Amino acid sequence: MKKANYKKIFSVILTMLSLIIVQSAWSDEHTAEQTRPIQLGTSGGNVNDSSRAFCCGGTLGALVQDANKKYILSNNHVLAKTNQGISGDDIIQPGLIDQNPVCSKDYSNGVADLTSFVSISFMKGTTNTVDAAIAEVRSNCIGSLGYTVNCVDPLGSILDIGQVSNSTVTTPTFNMPVKKSGRTTGQTTGTITATNVTVDIRYNKQCGIGSQKARFINQIMIGPAGFSAGGDSGSLIVENCSQYPRVVGLLFAGSSTSTLANPISDVLSLLGVSMVGSSLTPCSSSTSTGVSLMTAQSQLPPQANHRAVEAVSKVKERHEEAILRIEGVVGIGIGLSDTEPGQVVIEVYTKRPVHEMKHLIPEALEGIPVKIVETGEIVAY
């Protein structure tokens, strides 16, 4: 999550103080105050998400709905102050970090009211599946012509992406092309590099409930480096195609090399909502890079099929507690070999360089090759 110090005016000073590297985007449309109704994929957060020294913000990711109402979807740590939010809290756009002056509480920027969130457990021995929250959309904002309008685009349009599909990707796969639009890095593209990731996420002490770690299971890992940065938390991750992309996940954490996302099916199920989006056939025939999405998926090696992933996942789950107890290990997941095309392997994510970890981590588990990946510490953005 992007943070600012009350005593520092410029975001570059905050970047130097932060424990994560955050790209400044003061003049970018993603950080600016949007004309109402707002597009999503833009700066926002809880109006009370500040301490004596810092204020925080993230990305208002998407529009969801239940039988009666529509809501903004983002992370618990963006909308609900990491379990500390109160129902009815003002959700503003832009977030405190992008207010003028920085950290000022402008209640007139309210676009939604915090409704519910999935609590994050920091207790040792417990696990989490999502970092997610919703806020009911307001209908009484003033539009560009001076009339009262919905505060959020009722179609759920996302800046630089447009309207998404109301269908979702239930089983993310290796090499799947994806994209997102977020507060800090705007629109970026990448691919799914690992699935079934178990990872320890650090939540910084500047915001929320203090510096603690929470373990998440069944997460999605996305590369390359630069796909996201601090402040992009809450962004919706979708297929990288040009029209009505299906939804893949909800971005919530990362490092200098990797991005972590909750599978969207888990997010929607636990919050009891569905996507607001088009019912038209999702995705055009080509991605923004000119590569057919179907072609990209068909290029997946035949060995990387569901049965292979399932078998390797069982081995990973039998050994993950022991692996995660190794000093310097932050997570473990399922990916593809760098040397044997199509071979499914167990990936171990570390804070320390690979050459320092090789003597601590086995080369194989029950005959399944182990690939060590240096990610650095992974933090909630």
Structural tokens at position 304: 């990387």
Of the listed ranges 17-31, 290-304, 325-339, the least confidently predicted one is 290-304
CA distance 67 to 57: 29
The tens digit of pLDDT for each residue in 236-254 reads: 999 999 899 999 999 999 9
* Band of residue 257 on the pLDDT scale cut at 50, 70, 90: very high
Element (H, E) at 354: helix 354-357
Q: If pLDDT is split at 50, 70 and 90, which confidence band does 229 have?
A: very high
Measured between alpha carbons, how far is 211 from 219 in angstroms, rounded to an integer?
A: 21
Selection from 224, 145, 237, 223 nearest residue 187 by Cα: 237
Which single residue is written with the structure tokens 């691919």? Answer: 191
Instruction: Write the pLDDT tens digit of every residue in 123-155.
Output: 999 999 999 999 999 999 999 899 999 999 999
Give the percent of the chain with pLDDT over 90. Answer: 80
pLDDT at 6 over 80: no
- Residue 94 corresponds to which amino acid? P
Tokens 């040792």 correspond to 124
* Number of neighbouring beta carbons within 10 Å of residue 54: 23
Distance separating alpha carbons of residues 202 and 328, to the nearest angstrom: 14
